[in-house]
Amino acid sequence: MLQDGARRSHRIDRVAKFHTPEIVFGPDALSEVGNAVAGLGLTRPLVVSDRHVAATPWLDRVLADLRRRGLTPAVYLDVTPNPRAAEVVAGHAAFRRHQADGLVAVGGGSVIDTAKAVAVLATNGGEILEYEGIDRAARALPPLVAVPSTAGSGADVSQFCVINDPHRRTKVTIVGRKLVPNVAVVDPVLVTTAPPEVIAQAGMDALTHSVEAFVSLARGRLTDALAVESLTGIWANLERLVHDPSDEQAAAEMSLASMRAGMAFTNAILGATHAMSHPVGGYCDAPHGTVNAVLLPHVIRYNAHVCADDFAELADAVGLSASGAPRTVADRLAGAVAELGSRVGMPSTLTPLGVESDLLDMLTDRALGDSCMLTNPRRPEHAEILDVYRQAL
C-alpha cells in the first residue's frame, strides 16, 4: 500500500522538535490541580471557566483545593463558545485587578484558548488580534495549568489559540510554543458532565486533528504514532460516549485520544480542514467540531490526489477494507468519516450552519490566509478550495 517512498522518508530523516506540557492524566487527576499550581510557585491564580462548568462540581472542587493550600484564586466566567476578543480583554482586566501571577483554565477549548490569550496580553500587552500568526508573542507568558472538561480540542497540550474577531466575523489563529500550557491536568470524569452534542462536536474535532496531523507536511514519527493511536481510540469510543455520557471507560478512552491528537497536531500542525473551518466558525458562529465534521470528508478526497497512501493507512488502522487502489481506499475512509459524523448527530452539509453560496469566495480567501493551510499536503489554489466548499454545501 505504501507506494510514495519519497513522501514517507522525511519521517525518519528529518530532525524535529517535540513539545508537550507536563501531563497529569487519569481518574481523580482533578485533585492534583492544587499541586500543579503550587508547584509553579503561584499564589494568586486567575481561574478561567464558563457558566456551564460552573454549574458542575468541577470548578468548586478546584477552587476549594486552591484555597485549602493557602492560595488566593479569583474567577473569570464570561467565556462563550468561539470566544470573542472582548472576552479576552475582560479576562485580562480581571487578571490585572486580581494582581494574578498565573492562570488555571477549567473548561473546554474555548476556555483554555481564552486563558492563553489573557496570558499573552498579561506580559506582551497590546490587542489580542495583533498576535495572529506564528510566534508573534515575544515575551514569556505567565504560568498556565489547563484542565479540560471536554475530549476533543487538544488545547490543553497545544500551541494553538483561536479567538473570534467579531468585527471581521472571522477567527484569528495565534500559534507559538509559548502558548503550550505548563501543566495539563486531564481527568476523564469531567467529560461525563458534557452534553452529548458537545461530546460529539469535540470528538469530531479530535478526529480531524488526528487525520490532519498524519498527513501534514510537518509530521514526524512521534506525531504519526500518536495520530494513529488517537484515531483508533476515537473510532472505537466516540459513538459509545455520545449515546451514554456517563460511561467512564469511554470517557477515559476519549480523553486519552484527545490528548494524543493534541500532542500530534501541536507538533505536526494541521491542514485545509481547519483552515477552511475557522472562517466558517467565525462568520457563522458555528461550532468548530461540527464544521470540521462536514468538511473533513471533502478535504480527504481533495488531498488524496497527493497522499492517498497515507489515508489508506489510516483506513486500515480503523478496520476498513484496504482492497483497491489507494485513492479508492481514501474515498472509503472519507465516506466512513461522514457516516460516523452522521451517527453522532453532525449535519452532512454546511447549509444548516448558515453558509450560503454567495459567501464562498470570501470564505476561500480567508481560508487561504489561515496558518493551518501552510502544512496542508496539497498546495491549494483558490479555485480548488472554492470547489471543496461548494461540495460541502
- Rounded CA separation 118/141 (Å): 9
Helix (H, G, I), strand (E, B) or coil at 208: helix
| Confidence (pTM) | 0.94
On whether the CB atoms of residues 186 and 155 are closer than 8 A, the answer is: no
Residue 208: half-sphere exposure toward Cβ, Cα within 13 Å: 33
Q: Which amino acid is at 233?
A: G
CATH number of 28-186, picked from 3.40.50.300, 3.40.50.1970, 3.30.420.270, 3.40.50.1820: 3.40.50.1970
Q: What's the DSSP call for residue 63? A: H
- Stated as kind and residue range, the H or E segment containing 377 is none
The per-residue pLDDT string of the chain (393 residues; one tens digit each, 9 = 90 and over) reads 334 333 444 455 667 778 899 999 999 999 999 999 999 999 999 999 999 999 999 999 999 999 999 999 999 999 999 999 999 999 999 999 999 999 999 999 999 999 999 999 999 999 999 999 999 999 999 999 999 999 999 999 999 999 999 999 999 999 999 999 999 999 999 999 999 999 999 999 999 999 999 999 999 999 999 999 999 999 999 999 999 999 999 999 999 999 999 999 999 999 999 999 999 999 999 999 999 999 999 999 999 999 999 999 999 999 999 899 999 999 999 999 999 999 999 999 999 999 999 999 999 999 999 999 999 999 999 999 999 999 999
Q: Where are the domains of the chain?
A: 5-16+194-392, 28-186
On whether the CB atoms of residues 27 and 248 are closer than 8 A, the answer is: yes
What pLDDT, on a 0 to 100 scale, did the predictor assign at position 61?
A: 97
Residue 286: half-sphere exposure toward Cβ, Cα within 13 Å: 24
What pLDDT, on a 0 to 100 scale, did the predictor assign at position 109?
A: 96
What pLDDT, on a 0 to 100 scale, did the predictor assign at position 11?
A: 54
Q: Which residues pair with 161 in a beta bridge?
A: 174
- Rounded CA separation 257/143 (Å): 25
Residue partners of 260: CB distance under 8 A and separation at least 6: 210, 226, 227, 229, 230, 233
What pLDDT, on a 0 to 100 scale, did the predictor assign at position 322?
A: 85
Q: What's the DSSP call for residue 354? A: T
Least Cα distance to 13 among 153, 221, 310 occurs for: 221
CATH number of 5-16+194-392, picked from 3.30.420.40, 1.10.10.10, 3.90.245.10, 1.20.1090.10: 1.20.1090.10
